[in-house]
Protein backbone atom coordinates (compact mmCIF):
# COMPACT_ATOMS: atom_id res chain seq x y z
CA UNK A 1 0.00 0.00 0.00
CA UNK A 2 2.69 2.52 0.98
CA UNK A 3 4.80 1.72 -2.10
CA UNK A 4 1.78 1.80 -4.44
CA UNK A 5 0.79 5.21 -3.09
CA UNK A 6 4.36 6.45 -3.64
CA UNK A 7 4.33 5.24 -7.24
CA UNK A 8 1.05 7.03 -7.89
CA UNK A 9 2.57 10.29 -6.62
CA UNK A 10 5.66 10.24 -8.88
CA UNK A 11 4.02 11.89 -11.92
CA UNK A 12 2.29 14.44 -9.71
CA UNK A 13 5.68 15.38 -8.21
CA UNK A 14 7.10 15.87 -11.70
CA UNK A 15 9.20 12.69 -11.52
CA UNK A 16 9.26 10.37 -14.47
CA UNK A 17 11.56 7.69 -13.03
CA UNK A 18 9.99 4.98 -10.93
CA UNK A 19 11.39 3.39 -7.83
CA UNK A 20 14.15 0.83 -8.15
CA UNK A 21 14.02 -2.16 -5.78
CA UNK A 22 17.33 -2.44 -3.92
CA UNK A 23 16.55 -5.53 -1.86
CA UNK A 24 13.74 -7.62 -0.45
CA UNK A 25 14.22 -10.35 2.12
CA UNK A 26 12.34 -12.11 4.88
CA UNK A 27 12.98 -14.54 7.69
CA UNK A 28 12.53 -15.26 11.36
CA UNK A 29 12.83 -12.20 13.62
CA UNK A 30 16.29 -12.31 15.21
CA UNK A 31 19.18 -10.11 16.23
CA UNK A 32 21.18 -9.54 13.04
CA UNK A 33 22.87 -7.00 10.81
CA UNK A 34 21.89 -6.79 7.15
CA UNK A 35 24.31 -5.01 4.81
CA UNK A 36 22.89 -3.04 1.90
CA UNK A 37 25.58 -2.03 -0.58
CA UNK A 38 26.07 0.53 -3.32
CA UNK A 39 23.90 3.34 -1.93
CA UNK A 40 24.67 6.84 -3.23
CA UNK A 41 23.97 10.38 -1.94
CA UNK A 42 22.37 11.32 -5.29
CA UNK A 43 19.36 9.07 -4.54
CA UNK A 44 16.70 8.77 -1.87
CA UNK A 45 15.84 5.43 -0.27
CA UNK A 46 12.96 3.95 1.68
CA UNK A 47 12.95 1.05 4.10
CA UNK A 48 10.04 -1.07 5.30
CA UNK A 49 10.65 -3.59 8.09
CA UNK A 50 7.45 -5.35 9.05
CA UNK A 51 6.69 -8.19 11.48
CA UNK A 52 3.87 -10.69 11.15
CA UNK A 53 1.77 -12.11 12.53
CA UNK A 54 1.16 -9.46 15.15
CA UNK A 55 0.17 -12.17 17.63
CA UNK A 56 3.79 -13.39 17.59
CA UNK A 57 4.85 -10.31 19.59
CA UNK A 58 4.34 -10.86 23.31
CA UNK A 59 3.84 -7.74 25.48
CA UNK A 60 7.51 -7.60 26.53
CA UNK A 61 8.88 -8.05 22.96
CA UNK A 62 11.10 -5.26 21.63
CA UNK A 63 12.80 -5.05 18.25
CA UNK A 64 15.22 -2.16 17.83
CA UNK A 65 15.87 -1.21 14.19
CA UNK A 66 18.69 1.14 13.16
CA UNK A 67 19.71 2.18 9.68
CA UNK A 68 23.39 3.08 9.99
CA UNK A 69 26.22 4.20 7.79
CA UNK A 70 29.39 3.88 9.82
CA UNK A 71 28.79 5.62 13.16
CA UNK A 72 25.91 7.72 11.79
CA UNK A 73 22.37 6.58 12.60
CA UNK A 74 20.24 7.58 9.60
CA UNK A 75 16.93 6.28 11.02
CA UNK A 76 15.77 4.22 13.97
CA UNK A 77 12.69 2.92 15.72
CA UNK A 78 11.80 0.36 18.38
CA UNK A 79 9.01 -2.03 17.38
CA UNK A 80 6.72 -3.78 19.86
CA UNK A 81 3.33 -5.46 20.09
CA UNK A 82 1.53 -2.14 19.55
CA UNK A 83 3.64 -0.99 16.58
CA UNK A 84 5.03 -3.80 14.45
CA UNK A 85 6.44 -2.04 11.39
CA UNK A 86 8.87 0.69 10.44
CA UNK A 87 8.70 2.71 7.22
CA UNK A 88 10.87 5.73 6.54
CA UNK A 89 12.75 7.51 3.81
CA UNK A 90 16.44 8.37 4.12
CA UNK A 91 19.49 9.60 2.24
CA UNK A 92 23.09 8.57 2.75
CA UNK A 93 25.80 11.16 3.49
CA UNK A 94 28.35 9.30 1.36
CA UNK A 95 28.42 6.47 -1.18
CA UNK A 96 28.78 3.02 0.28
CA UNK A 97 27.16 0.35 2.38
CA UNK A 98 24.39 0.87 4.90
CA UNK A 99 23.70 -1.57 7.73
CA UNK A 100 20.22 -2.38 9.01
CA UNK A 101 20.93 -3.38 12.60
CA UNK A 102 18.21 -5.43 14.31
CA UNK A 103 18.28 -6.17 18.04
CA UNK A 104 15.41 -8.46 19.04
CA UNK A 105 14.39 -9.21 22.62
CA UNK A 106 11.66 -11.79 23.37
CA UNK A 107 10.37 -11.43 19.80
CA UNK A 108 8.88 -14.09 17.58
CA UNK A 109 7.30 -14.16 14.17
CA UNK A 110 8.69 -13.38 10.75
CA UNK A 111 9.92 -10.16 9.23
CA UNK A 112 9.85 -8.70 5.76
CA UNK A 113 12.50 -6.13 4.79
CA UNK A 114 12.20 -4.02 1.64
CA UNK A 115 14.56 -1.26 0.54
CA UNK A 116 13.78 0.86 -2.53
CA UNK A 117 15.65 3.61 -4.35
CA UNK A 118 13.65 6.71 -5.31
CA UNK A 119 14.33 9.80 -7.37
CA UNK A 120 15.45 12.73 -5.23
CA UNK A 121 12.83 15.42 -4.73
CA UNK A 122 12.68 18.38 -2.40
CA UNK A 123 8.96 17.63 -2.09
CA UNK A 124 9.48 14.29 -0.31
CA UNK A 125 10.91 13.99 3.19
CA UNK A 126 14.13 11.97 3.23
CA UNK A 127 15.49 11.61 6.74
CA UNK A 128 14.79 12.18 10.37
CA UNK A 129 13.53 15.64 11.23
CA UNK A 130 13.38 15.70 15.03
CA UNK A 131 15.04 19.12 15.44
CA UNK A 132 14.40 22.40 13.67
CA UNK A 133 18.04 22.37 12.49
CA UNK A 134 17.25 19.23 10.44
CA UNK A 135 14.01 20.54 8.93
CA UNK A 136 13.56 20.63 5.19
CA UNK A 137 12.52 23.77 3.34
CA UNK A 138 8.83 23.80 2.44
CA UNK A 139 8.06 26.10 -0.48
CA UNK A 140 4.92 28.19 0.07
CA UNK A 141 1.93 26.94 -1.89
CA UNK A 142 3.44 23.50 -2.51
CA UNK A 143 2.54 20.10 -1.11
CA UNK A 144 5.25 18.13 0.69
CA UNK A 145 5.00 14.37 1.25
CA UNK A 146 6.37 12.62 4.31
CA UNK A 147 5.94 9.69 6.60
CA UNK A 148 5.92 10.00 10.37
CA UNK A 149 6.39 6.29 11.00
CA UNK A 150 9.82 6.91 12.50
CA UNK A 151 7.92 8.32 15.50
CA UNK A 152 6.12 6.00 17.87
CA UNK A 153 2.45 5.48 17.01
CA UNK A 154 1.82 3.70 20.29
CA UNK A 155 4.41 4.46 23.01
CA UNK A 156 6.78 1.78 24.20
CA UNK A 157 5.51 -0.14 27.23
CA UNK A 158 6.58 1.66 30.39
CA UNK A 159 6.88 5.12 28.79
CA UNK A 160 5.89 7.77 31.34
CA UNK A 161 3.48 10.61 30.58
CA UNK A 162 6.32 13.07 31.27
CA UNK A 163 8.53 11.37 28.65
CA UNK A 164 5.66 11.57 26.12
CA UNK A 165 5.09 15.25 26.86
CA UNK A 166 8.83 16.04 26.65
CA UNK A 167 9.03 14.57 23.13
| pLDDT at residue 140, rounded to an integer | 81
Segment 54-102, tens digit of pLDDT: 889 998 999 999 999 999 999 999 999 989 999 988 989 999 999 999 9
What are the domain boundaries of the chain? 2-166
Segment 92-147, tens digit of pLDDT: 999 999 999 999 999 999 999 999 998 877 666 666 656 677 676 777 887 766 66
Fold of 2-166: Jelly Rolls (2.60.120)
Segment 26-57, tens digit of pLDDT: 999 999 999 999 899 999 899 999 999 988 99
E strands, 70-132, are 72-79, 85-90, 96-107, 110-118
Of 15-19, 62-66, 156-160, the range with the lowest mean pLDDT is 15-19
Sheet holding 110-118, edge to edge: 20-28, 110-118, 44-52, 85-90
162 pLDDT band (50/70/90 cuts)?
A: confident
| Beta carbons of 73 and 67 less than 8 angstroms apart | yes
Amino acid sequence: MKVALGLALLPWLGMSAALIPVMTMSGAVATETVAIGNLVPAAAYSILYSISPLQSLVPQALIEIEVRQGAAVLASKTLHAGDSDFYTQFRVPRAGTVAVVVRATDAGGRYSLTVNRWPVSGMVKAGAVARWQDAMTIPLGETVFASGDDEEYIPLPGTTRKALADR
